[in-house]
Structure 1
Amino acid sequence: MVLDFGGAALGAAFGVLFDVVIEIKNKNLMFKPILKKLKSTLESLKPLITVIEKYNKKLDLPEGETTDFKLKMEKGAELVRKCSKVNRFNIFIKFYLAGKLTELDDTLKRLIEILEAQGVRDVKENLTLTREIYLDVKENLTLTREIHSKVDGGGSNNGLVHNQINVPAISSCDVLDQLPSLTVGLEKPLKELKMRLLNNGAPLLVVNGRGGVGKTLLARRFCLDDEVKEKFKSNIFFVVVSKTQPTVSSIVQRLHKHTGNEVPDLPDEAVAVRYLKQLLNKLSPSPILLVLDDVWPGSVSLVRNFVVQIPEYKILVTSRSQLPGFGPPDFAPPYHLEPLNDGDAMTLFRFWACLEDWSSHIPYDIVKKIVDHYNVSPLALKIVAGSLSGQPTEIWRRRLKECSNGSPTLSSETELDTHLQSYLDDLKISEKECFMDLGSFPEDQRISVVSLIDMWTEFYELEEDGDAVINLIDLDLRNLANLVVTRKDVNADDDYYSEHFATQHDLLRDLAIHQSIQDPVGQRKRLIMNLRGDNLPKWWKEHEQQPFKAHLLSISTDETFSSKWFDMQLPEAKILVLNFRTKDYALPKFVENMGQLKVLIVTNYSSFHAEVGNFQLLGSLNNMKRIRLERISIPTPSKTPVKLENLQKISLFMCSIGDAFSNCSIKLSEFLPNLKEMNIDFCDDLVKLPVEFCDSNCMKKLSITYCPKLSELPDGIGDMVNLEVLRLRSCIRLQGLPGSIGNLSNLTFLDICDCVSIENLPDRVGELHNLRKLNMTNCSKLQDLPESLKELEQLKVLICDDNGKQLWESSLPHRNDVDIRLTIKDINLNWMPGFG
């Protein structure tokens, strides 16, 4: 039924789109998760559409803006129809259309933001609304959008998520929404979970099963069930515990953060428990659901701290083990998740192996025997299917022969590990090496693609950063890692990866680490240390006086680590990865003797920005080329001046840098004389870029993205005469560009996407004679373009929305030589394989 919105043009377009999504959603399994999200967004938009005329008057929205949304809805309806024609094995088209559906969803959310803001034309209110959205994106570290139509074999990389139900502008950031494209075998377990936890009134339920069987996926599916969402609404919390369990204090702090409360400083666990009870009482009497995912036997006492006698407070626990004390009579009987039945296992495997139909050239009996052998877990099916996809029959026969050499079916995790180890032997050397590098990061955490790029480019002496991304894509295609993209325009091709992440099932991480520890400790290429408190590894005493040959050192510490570092000799180390969870931290003293060190990656996983000391130790490292810091309070350079003679790239992600930059009095060229690239992402206290940073003659790339308080650039930006790339993406308070930008004669790419407060471009922008690409998507306040743009003879690509296109064509009607790429556009798919 077409919805009636009083004959309004926008309402009619909305009604058509709504009907098409409803029609296609249940018919198309491949795009069902994305269409489900789109349906949810449309339902949130529905009541606002009915009063859009009132909002038009109130917001003084120009007719062109509502027309823009109307056109996008019309194109969106056609896009959804085309999705129904896609052959599910046409990978290219699947990726492309998945990205386009995500862009459509973002466009509709943008309309919701405008209507709900009730004053979006007032800059202050617009900034407040947008800042809230960006901060939520920033805090949900595991925010993901699938760019691949893939199935999750279980496991978790989620961190903690506060499921903001019925908040359209935020719900898309919720990792719980990111279910795989194909899920099988969950209906019966889901029904059982609801009966035991909801209908019977039990306060706690444990779901157990072997690793990779799908416990995490089931828990996520439970949280997204309509009946569960209706009951718990905004009080759904998802916490990953994992083998290296967090403290009660850290979990309670994160719960406070995600409920919008002030994050308390908790000196010990007893105080944390008191704060937990206070928070739960504050949320009560509304029902509350807490999911504790991937709990190990050693974490039983931690779980007990969260068992609080509050009405309508439920806890769902997933674990590989039977957890003593969490069964009848006080709690629901544990639910054991069994492997998939034969039919579901075959469906899943064929999907992952891209066996297009049942008439495949691979004999059915070979497929059936392989599925039977690996049906110990969906994860095993996923990995093996990925290794066999597109392979000739001979490779399938060889894999079957390997299966036949052992037991007919894998009956234990040990046997599964053995088979997966042998599977790694089939990888190319580069793939296997990169796979093992993923073990350098904490389990159940997303891995920054920028970190991997920095590691791999220097570690393997790659010519370009893009070569490192190809290595990750290879692992993704083999199902050894998952590549996820959090940016709106997932198909953007601009070689910027601050919003790209990799995730990995903890079984695969264990496999990577196992591969890395085959050699004696002193001879290992990778030395991966996971420290609890100040306790050193068992092998430490017999090796403390000996140099290690490791080229990569990774040290992960917990909340109880005191930064009392031990001594190590690492004369050959090129990569240092430091992962920690404390408010105060210090670089290890032995860093100053790591003469070959090229890359330093420091990541803080706590709820607070951390103070990090001992940066002066880096001053002796002449080979240091790349540094990446995440959630770090950056010290003022003038207070701790460290000259890094050969540093070429520095990345600051979610760092606190306001005071450091505002008090800066040292020129960038004095302490980073050869810096070529600087990335500042999601730093919400950056107000202005110091003019002292603009004297760098070596800088080629400057990226400042999602910094909501940045209001202006210094006029000295024009002194960076060798700058080739300038990104100012989503700096929503940025008022404009300085006229001195005309001095940047080498600039080839300018990105001002989502800079919603820029009203005009300086006349001197026409002096950017080497500018080849301009992204001005969603620059909604731009009313006209300077005539000098016609002088940009090298400009070949303009990326914009429909408004930008109309502005360009009206201001510069004769520049028809520019390739205008709309962020949402219609495409002709009839010529592509898989259609018709």
Structure 2
Amino acid sequence: MAGALFGGAALGAVFGELLKLVIDAAKQAINFKSTLNRLERTLTAIEPVFTETVKLNKLLDARKEETDGFIKHLEDGKALVEKCSKIKRWNVYDKRNYNEKLNDLHSSLVSFFQIDVQAQLARDTRKILLGVNNVDEKVEKILSILENGGGVRHSNGFSGCCGVPGVPGFIVGLDLPLEELKVMLLKDGGSVVVLSAPGGCGKTTLAKMLCRDEEIKAIYEANIFFVNVSKTPNIRVIVQNLFQHTGYHPVPEFQSDDDAINKLEIWLKQIGQHPLLLVLDDVWSGSESLVHNSKFQIPGYKILVTSRSDLPGFDSTYKLKLLNHQNAVTLFRHIAFPQNGSTYVSDDLVDKVVRGCGGFPLALEVVARSLCNKPEVKWKSTLRKWSGGQSIFGSNSDLLKRLQTSLDALEEMPIVKECFLDLGSFPEDQRIPASTLMDMWVEMYDFYEDGSDTFEYLDELSTRNLANLILTRKVANEVDDYCTEQFVTQHDLLRELAIYESSQELMEQRPRLIVDISANNLPRWWRGKMQQPINARLLSISTDETFPSSCCDLELPEVEVLILNFRTRNFTLPQFIKGMDALKVLIITNYGFGSAELNNLLLLGYLSNLKRIRFEHVSISSLGTSILELQNLTKISLIMCEIGKAFQNCTLELPSIWPNLVQIDIDCCEDLVEFPAGVCNIINLKKLKITSCHELCVLPQEFGKLTNLEVLRLHYCKKLPELPQSIGNLQKLELLDISDCSGLNKMPTQMGELCGLRTLHMRGCRGLGELPPSVKKLGQLKDVICDEDTACLWEPYKSYLTNLKLTVLKEYPNLRWL
């Protein structure tokens, strides 16, 4: 029983005693102040839950044996805190020992609430009817306090893959549609409501507003799921994402689409204690079967579908109208004249431009941004290019022609326009990592390696509403971090604009060739015999499971960037890669669920000019010698890949392994347990980033061979216990990031040999009890970014490091699981 976990007054009393003891000790203690403060914050945050559950326990049958163990645990905690207050400052051993015990106490409290309480509260919810609302309110308050104070979020920066996205800060004209759509959704009878409108009308924004409406949230509570469907939906991936979003583990594999649908129905019925709302966003004509297959006989279950088309055969359809002129003017002026709405062009001219946008919110936003701060002559020129300014666009292609004028504002910034067109190379409704774009643009447009140019141009596109720049966490102010943790998204209509603009020239003369392949349907020009080679610099192919990898009839002598986007569990590199002599950048991304086995990698050995490789969400079982000897390769990125077997199965002792490689990025590779010693033979390596590799626990002593290393990031490798002693050989190292390496229990004694070290990140290193005395020799060290627990470790050395600046970031316990 949930209430039994707390054992009534006895447990409540001992919990209160522990909290009071911790508060008093934190005020007096010198040795453990930061640790005690953290423990105090956690106890204070969960105290309301204890109080309410003790009251509720009177309504339930408590079993004494379930509480005795935890009461004993709290009593031991009290004794521990009392002992800590008696430890002398000079007793270094006891300070470290008892600091670890306090951390263990804190972890056990969090673990208890995370596992036992969560599981049993879920099991016994129906038995706590009289008090559950009060507990929920207090939990929400706890979450709000912790998140507002800087609580830890998921590493990817998002609440979940099927959570409701945020809405824009300024919205007009959707209040009445929101109320009308809500009435249609909540009326009795019918389980599917279709929200229909042309692209760029605000369908998705309205759907988000509905999900965030207080009345809707009160009805559906946590059972609101928001799914991006797009043009070529993969039913199995969609269902797997739904399972993952709700914490289902392990996420099941499905044998077929029917199997996925059957499992989805069973799962929805199991969680359907409250009404359910499933939002299927951007369903294209021809994909109605997905909606039909998602209809189940579950009480209170509703489906909201957004679509550019009127989908026949469903219960209700709400047709979202274009903005009326008054709302269109309001939206347009908000963007075009941001300085308090002041205008420097005539109202008549503004009126004509607004009418030319036809009430499309997207057209209004983009055109307004392109005309912001421009003289009247630019406005008049825009009207002329619209050839009379029709009031309503007859089709999306007509709207695309209108939106083309927004690119005219980039005439003086041709590279920005090229960057916008390049965004069309990636699938719709997908986040594009800024680091991927940086790899492309460094080679195509001679951008800086540090990403500053990339960030500047993406920011320019974002400012003009031609793309959305997403920062998943606050980015450190360092030269190699401009593109870290940043992504770009683009409205489907803007992607179509980029593809449309790129397709205006003859096939053989296009600078970029963007190909979408579905169901093995190759474009007509590909099926026929090309009269001459394709001279594009960029080739992007997006496909599903049916891509014919045997196609080898393309001549691509000028392609410098190849982007392969796919969704399948097995992908074979196409044979035409073998003849791409000019290729510099290869980007391979699997957008399906689970890693895809990547085959035919030996073809990469023919790409003598290849400089950058980026693999995402793929499995690599082996690496051939020809690949390891690529003479011009400068950077390789492995994101969410399975690479353990590849490192184990290949001979990495080759003296010529990647002779010009200067950067390796490894992120979220869960099967990387031991960093391969052979990689340490890459003596020209300057940047090594190993982030969120949770199973990594061994760095070899050969690490000291990387004597040219300047940046080493080991962020969030939580099982890594120590750094190799040979790290002291890295005398050119300027930046070391060991933040959130919670398992790190000691620093190497030779740390002081890092004579070039300037910046050290060590927030979240809870296991460190002390620093080696050699750190006093780090004369070049200027910035240490840490938390309260690790800041105190530097106190004895401040007098030696006169230029040192400590930046202390606050840490709060992560109680989002409540």
Coarse TM-score class (shorter-chain normalised): 0.7 to 0.9
Counterpart contact for 2:572–2:600, Cα < 8 Å: yes
C-alpha displacement at 1:122, in angstroms? 6.1
State the Cα deviation string for residues 176-199 of structure 1 (Å, max 9, x = none). 243222233333222222222124
Distance 1:765 1:284 in 2: 56
Give the C-alpha shift of residue 275 in structure 1: 2.9
Matches of 2:594 and 2:552, distance apart in 1: 25
Write the mapping of 1:153-164 to structure 2, written as runs, cut at 5 A: none
Spell out the pairing of 1:132-211 with structure 2 (5 A cutoff): 173-174=159-160, 176-211=164-199
Offset at 1:270?
3.3
Structure 1 residues 634 and 123: CA distance shift in structure 2, 3 A: farther
- RMSD of equivalent CA atoms: 3.7
SS at match of 1:274: helix
> 2:495 maps to which residue?
509
Task: Report deviation, 1:10.
Answer: 11
Match of 2:783 in 1: 797
Structure 1 distance, partners of 2:238, 2:44, is 34
Q: Could you list the per-position Cα deviations for residues 144-187 of structure 1 after superposition, in whole angstroms to 9, with x for gaps in the alignment?
A: xxxxxxxxxxxxxxxxxxxxxxx996695245243222233333
Change over 3 Å in CA distance of 1:404–1:440 after alignment to 2: closer
1:385 is the counterpart of 2:357: no
Which shows bigger deviation, 219-228 or 472-481? 219-228
1:511-535 superposed Cα distances (whole Å, 9 cap, x missing partner): 0001111111122111111111222
Aligned pairs for 1:380-459 (under 5 A) are 380-392=363-375, 394-396=377-379, 398-399=381-382, 405-407=388-390, 413-427=396-410, 428-459=413-444
Q: Give the aligned partner of residue 223 of structure 2.
A: 235
Give the structure 2 partner of residue 140 of structure 1.
none
What are the residue-to-residue correspondences of 1:185-334 with 2, within 5 Å? 185-243=173-231, 245-259=232-246, 260-326=248-314, 331=315, 333-334=316-317
| 1:472 partnered with 2:458 | yes
User: Is 1:531 the equivalent of 2:517?
Assistant: yes
In 2, Cα distance between the equivalents of 1:254 and 1:394?
Answer: 50
Determine the structure 2 residue equivalent to 1:765. Answer: 751
Alignment pair present for 1:370 and 2:353 = yes
Cross-structure match for 1:650: 636
Distance 1:43 1:60, change over 3 A: closer
- Residue pair 1:522, 1:543 contacting (<8 A) in 2 also: no
TM-fit CA distance, 1:231: 2.9
Contact conserved, 2:358 with 2:390, CA < 8 A, in 1? no
Match of 1:143 in 2: none
- Report the CA distance between 1:783 and its aligned residue: 2.9
- Cα separation, partners in 2 of 1:641 and 1:400, compared to 1, 3 Å: closer
TM superposition shift of 1:273: 3.1
**Are positions 1:572 and 2:563 aligned together?**
no
Aligned-residue offset at 1:771: 1.1
Question: Structure 1 residue 223: deviation in Å?
Answer: 2.1
Contact 2:764–2:787 under 8 Å retained in 1: yes
Shift of 1:808: 2.4
8 A contact 2:434–2:484 mirrored in 1: yes
Give a deviation string over 1:444-485, Cα, whole Å, max 9, x none. 111121111111111123343432332222212211111112
In the alignment, the residues of structure 2 paired with residue 376 and residue 595 of structure 1 have an alpha-carbon distance, to the nearest angstrom, of 48
Per-residue deviation, residues 468-506 of structure 1 (Å, max 9, x unmatched): 332222212211111112235576664263421110000
CA-CA distance at 1:396 after TM superposition? 4.3
Task: Output the CA distance in 2 between the equivalents of 1:452 and 1:234.
Answer: 36
TM-score, structure 1 as length reference: 0.76
* CA apart distance, 1:266: 3.5
Q: Shift in Å at residue 692 of structure 1?
A: 1.3
Relative distance call for 1:756 and 1:351 in structure 2 (3 A) is farther
Tell me the equivalent position of 2:676.
Answer: 690
Once the two structures are TM-superposed, the CA of residue 420 in structure 1 deviates from its matched residue by: 1.2
8 Å CA contact 1:664–1:690 kept in 2: the answer is no
Structure 1's unaligned 5+ residue stretches are 12-41, 64-113, 133-166, 826-836
Gaps of 5+ in 2: 1-15, 24-40, 52-69, 82-99, 119-150, 812-818
Other-structure match for 1:736: 722
- Alpha-carbon shift at residue 556 of structure 1 (Å): 0.8
User: How many residues get paired?
Assistant: 699
* Correspondence for 1:137: none
Counterpart in the other structure of 1:581: 567
Report the 3-state secondary structure (helix = DSSP H, G, I; strand = E; otherwise coil) of the residue aligned with 2:164.
helix
Q: Quote the Cα distance in structure 2 between the aligned partners of 1:394 and 1:198.
A: 50
Q: Cα distance 1:414–1:652, how it changes in 2: closer, same or farther (>3 A)? A: same
Worse-matched range after superposition: 687-696 or 800-809? 800-809
1:593-604 pair list within 5 angstroms = 593-604=579-590
Going from structure 1 to structure 2, the CA distance change for 1:124 and 1:324 (only over 3 Å counts) comes to closer
Give 3-state SS (helix, strand or coil) of 1:290's partner: strand
Distance apart, 1:566 and its partner CA:
4.1
Report percent identity of matched pairs.
44
Structure showing greater Rg: 2
Secondary structure, in 3 states, of the residue corresponding to 1:602? strand
Specify which of 313, 317, 320 is matched with residue 337 of structure 1: 320
1:614 to partner: Cα distance: 0.8
TM-score w.r.t. the length of structure 2 is 0.78
In structure 1, give the amino acid aligned to 2:331: L
Q: Does structure 1 conserve the Cα–Cα contact (< 8 Å) formed by 2:604 and 2:627?
A: no
Structure 2 residue identity aligned to 1:821 = T
Partners of 2:465 and 2:708 lie apart in 1 by 41
Q: Deviations over 1:591-618 (max 9, x none)?
A: 1110010000000011121101111001
Q: CA deviation at 1:58?
A: 7.6
Matching of residues 526-565 of structure 1 within 5 Å: 526-544=512-530, 546-561=532-547, 563-565=549-551
**Structure 1 residues 645, 58: CA separation in 2 closer, same or farther (over 3 Å shift)?**
farther
1:15 aligns with: none
User: Counterparts of 1:820 and 1:653 in 2: how far apart (Å)?
Assistant: 32
Residue 280 of structure 1: how far off its partner (Å):
2.8
CA distance in 1, matches of 2:797, 2:783: 16
